[in-house]
Amino acid sequence: MPSVSTCRKELLVASMVKRAALAVVVALAAASCTDEGGATTQRASASATTPESEEATATRSPAMDSVAEGCPVTVPRPVDDRNSWRPRLFGWASSHGNGELWVGGLGRHGVIGRLSWKLGWWREVPGDLRIAGRRLDAEAEPLRAHVPSGYGRIGFQSSGVTFPTEGCWQVTGQVHEASLTFVTLVRRA
């Protein structure tokens, strides 16, 4: 007959498996929803909070986390492989774009896990990239962006952003009249 400790471990493992399966279902459902511009957004919903292992926390979707309540996260997608420049965009596997600008490196499920973060940009229009951002869910100083020179006037552009606080952030990259906006949840991992 198994011990009480063994039974508890088995129940914890079963609970973690169920949560991981639910996270996959939520992510797939969110991935199938797009707005008119092709950007996918995910409105995170609350869940009951219970003590969990680090492994369960790492596999949890932002839609399942009460911290993400109300943040309409832009769900990143890979750049289409028909774009020959795809391998040259840092973070192309988790990106967002509109035909004129793309941003890569949006983090898993659109969640950024540090206050300082690298973003890759692809510019189809010539010009210098400017980045601005504001917190949506509370008052905060604007984000700080670093856009290094030396990348030319079109194509790839690296950047770094520093968020003054965790929270729900709207970030906009702009090159002349072209702009691209996304929403991300920033929280330290």
The secondary structure of 41-99 as a DSSP string is EEE----------HHHHHH--GGG-GGGTT-EEEEPBPPPTTSTTGGGSTTGGGEEE-S
- Count of structural domains within the chain: 1
User: So what's the pLDDT on residue 101?
Assistant: 96
pLDDT (tens digit, 9 = 90+) per residue, 46-70?
Answer: 222 222 332 333 333 333 333 456 8
At residue 13, what are phi and psi to the nearest 5 degrees? -60, -45
Residue 132: how many CB atoms within 10 A of its CB? 15
Query: Residue 26 pLDDT more than 70?
Result: no
User: So what's the pLDDT on residue 167?
Assistant: 97
d(CA 21, CA 76): 20
At residue 14, what are phi and psi to the nearest 5 degrees? -60, -40
Of 16-20, 44-48, 97-101, 153-157, the one with minimum mean pLDDT is 44-48
CATH of the domain at 30: 2.60.40.10
d(CA 124, CA 129): 11
Range of the domain at 91: 1-189
Q: Are 121 and 103 in contact (CB under 8 A)?
A: yes
User: So what's the pLDDT on residue 19?
Assistant: 45
Helix or strand holding residue 22 (H, E): helix 4-31
Q: Tell if the pTM clears 0.75, that is, is over it.
A: no
Q: Are 138 and 182 in contact (CB under 8 A)?
A: no
pLDDT (tens digit, 9 = 90+) per residue, 79-110?
Answer: 988 889 999 999 999 999 999 999 999 998 99
Q: Are 168 and 71 in contact (CB under 8 A)?
A: yes
